[in-house]
Structures are given as structure tokens and as C-alpha cells.
Amino acid sequence: MDNRVELQLQFGDDEAIVDELTNFFTPVATPHVWKEEEKAVKAWDTAIVIVLTIVGDWATQRYVLNPLADRAEEWIKGIFSAWGKSKSKRSFNIIVKFGQDADTFEVQVSDTSDQEVLKQVWGYIGQAHQVAQRLLKQGTSLDKIRILPNGTQGLLVIGYEGNQPKYTINLEDGSTLLIPASSPTDEPLDPKGHLWLVEQLIRRLAYLKMLVEKGYSVPGDEIPRLEREIEDETAKLKPR
């Protein structure tokens, strides 16, 4: 089998935490588990990184992505198993690479522990792949699609040309819109810099929610305020 999946863990992790996820991928890819080297500073948001490399693009949807999406119950069971064995609701960073050369197209689902997003993640990746294939036929070649769960029950989906964010994408209907050159105040908009700002807000929101889940108190209005700010800043990346 040429397809490959790597499950990246932290230095101190027991590889057994991803046993069920390894089994999940076995029908479509050869699994490998590896660990990062020990770090001097421990981070609170130690994600489990999954990188699936699909060799060739012929029938990818039919023979890889659809079968993975159809096994959502088995997939989410593996997620819960990883959470239980690591005693932490770890986030997942999922990357799917289509091809192995320098022109590889990829779909990335940025760090998330949102159960509903994770349950549907293979469907989202399949939809993103279909959007990229349609655009390619129309003469637009994307290098990457990033799916960012934003913590407000929404998804921010960005299409990249090179390392530049160029489009927002609606996965439900497959529509794509150019990111505007200016903000609602008509000030120039730097999409890359603005997306970085949105990501920092999302990370802050995830951190506060993690504190609440662990029983710590946070100011009562802080989470709703951040959610509103994320929605407002996300809207600036979409045409008015």
C-alpha cells in the first residue's frame, strides 16, 4: 500500500493512546507513529498531529475519503479512546496531502477538540478536495485549503495560492469568494496578517474554554466577548 499516515505524539506520550486510530486508518494507509523530541517548555495545547499522504489523485474520493467519512462512529470512538488514555481532551491537527512531490496539494484542519467538528472532519476534507478539483478544471490551482473551526459553531475555510490566503470557501455549496483588498472601513486589508489575528483569538478562546472545563473561573463575559470578536474579524475576510 502506497498511502501513508503518520500520527505524531508528544515526547512523553504512550503510543497506546492512538491504537484505535491506527486501526482506523489501516484499510486505506500504512500507519506510522512517531514522537517529537522532549521540549524544555511544556505547552498546554499539545495536539495530536495526523498526516495522511495519499499517493496519486485518481479515485481518491471514492476509495479513501468517502470510506473514511462513512466510518464516523469508528473514528470518533478512536478520538474518545485517545482522550481517555491520555487523560486530556487533546486537540487534533489533521493534514491530508495529495501526492508526494513539490506540487502537493493539501487540506489542513487546524487544531480542534470540538467533538462535532471532529465527527464530520473526513466529510469536510472530502468537500474541500472536491472544491479544489472543480477550481483546477476552471484554471485556478490551489496549493492548500485550511479549515479553521473558530469555536463559535462555524468554520472558516481559506483557499491558498502559494502561502497567500486568497479565497474564502463555503463547503456546503462549494462556492469561493476572493478575500477583499480592504476592510469594511476601507482600510487596506492584509489577509495573511488578519488571518493570524483571527487564529490568535481562536487560540485564546480555546484556552479559556479549557480552563472552564477544568473547573477554573474566568470572567463571565470574556468567552461571549471573544466569540463576538472572532465572528466580527472573520467577517472582514469576506466580501461585503
Rounded CA separation 14/86 (Å): 8
Q: Which one has a higher pLDDT value, 218 or 19?
A: 19
The per-residue pLDDT for 108 is 97
Least confident of 22-31, 41-50, 101-110: 41-50
CB 29 within 8 A of CB 4: yes
Please calculate the CA angle 105-205-154 and round it to the nearest 5 degrees: 55
- We report the CATH number of the domain holding residue 131 as 3.30.429
The per-residue pLDDT for 190 is 95
Please calculate the CA angle 182-187-190 and round it to the nearest 5 degrees: 55
16: left (phi over 0), alpha (psi -120 to 50) or beta: alpha
Residue 204 belongs to some domain of the structure: no
Least confident of 16-25, 96-105, 121-130, 139-148: 96-105
Please calculate the CA angle 19-50-126 and round it to the nearest 5 degrees: 110
- State how beta strands 92-98 and 48-54 pair: parallel
Q: What are phi and psi of 59, to 5 degrees?
A: 60, 25
CA 230 to mean position of chain CA atoms = 17
Question: Which domain, by its residues, includes 100?
Answer: 4-141
Q: Give the contacts of 97 (CB within 8 A, at least 6 positions apart).
A: 51, 52, 53, 54, 104, 105, 106
Residue 121 belongs to some domain of the structure: yes
Residue 94 belongs to some domain of the structure: yes
Please calculate the CA angle 32-36-40 and round it to the nearest 5 degrees: 170
Q: Give the contacts of 140 (CB within 8 A, at least 6 positions apart).
A: none
Domain count, the chain: 1
Residue 156 belongs to some domain of the structure: no
The per-residue pLDDT for 214 is 85
Residue 78 belongs to some domain of the structure: yes
Residue 16 belongs to some domain of the structure: yes
134: left (phi over 0), alpha (psi -120 to 50) or beta: alpha
Residue 198 belongs to some domain of the structure: no
Closest CA to 208 of 227, 232, 231: 227
Distances from the Cα of 205 to the Cαs of 202, 212, 224, in angstroms? 5, 11, 9
Calculate what percentage of the chain has a pLDDT beyond 90.
Answer: 75
pLDDT band with cut points at 50, 70 and 90 for residue 109: very high
The pLDDT tens digits for 51-63 are 999 987 778 999 9
The per-residue pLDDT for 39 is 67
CB 127 within 8 A of CB 171: yes
The pLDDT tens digits for 157-214 are 999 999 999 999 999 999 999 999 988 888 899 999 999 999 999 999 988 998 998 8
Residue 29 belongs to some domain of the structure: yes
Q: What are phi and psi of 144, to 5 degrees?
A: -160, 150
